[in-house]
Amino acid sequence: MSIPPLPDGLEDNDLTRAANALHSASIHVLRRARAADRESGLTPERLSLLSVLVYAGARTIGALAAIEGVSAPAISRIVTALEAGGLARRGRTKDAREVTVIATARGRRLVEEGRRRRLMLIARELERFTRSDIQKIRAVAEMLERRDGV
């Protein structure tokens, strides 16, 4: 896997080269991870929404739409599918216009297994590096996540 050249119009410096390499590396990391998701038997959209429910807790349809960056009708339909599969349930709040969604135990288990598979796949790839390089990778990744939301 080699890194593509910087496109024309971008200054060539550490910053742009870091962005370029980080871009490529991220694509490759997630390509592998996504392969693990197919074993869940869920479509990517359903698994993604269910993951939000598991890690963020019960949320209204509108909140889920904002988080996923899609429309409320799109969420509503996916929730219906998750409910049919016994992976999530609809609930109500004081405001009777709102509909909350929460993952079932089975939904939670499915998401956790998927996350474990993803991380195991990535970890297996990292095994090729030395302990010292793995520490560097960890330090940089944690730094990226610590500072802001890059």
Applying CB under 7 A, the residues found at the interface with DNA are 43, 45-46, 60-62, 65, 68-81, 90, 94-100
β-bridge partners, 100: 60, 91
Residues 6+ apart with CB under 8 A from 53: 59, 64, 88, 101, 102, 103, 107
Shortest spacing between CB 11 and DNA, in angstroms: 33
Residue 130 interacts, among a copy of itself, DNA, none and using kind-specific CB cut-offs from 5 to 8 Å, with none
Shortest spacing between CB 28 and a copy of itself, in angstroms: 6
Which C-beta is closer to a copy of itself: that of 98 or that of 142?
142
Binding map of a copy of itself across residues 5-24, x = CB under 8 A, - = no contact = -xxxxx---xxxxxxxxxxx
Window 64-123: residues binding a copy of itself (CB under 8 A): 112, 115-116, 118-120, 122-123
Shortest spacing between CB 52 and DNA, in angstroms: 12
143: amino acid identity, one letter: M
Handedness of CA 95, 96, 98, 102 (dihedral sign): positive
Residues 6+ apart with CB under 8 A from 32: 121, 122, 125
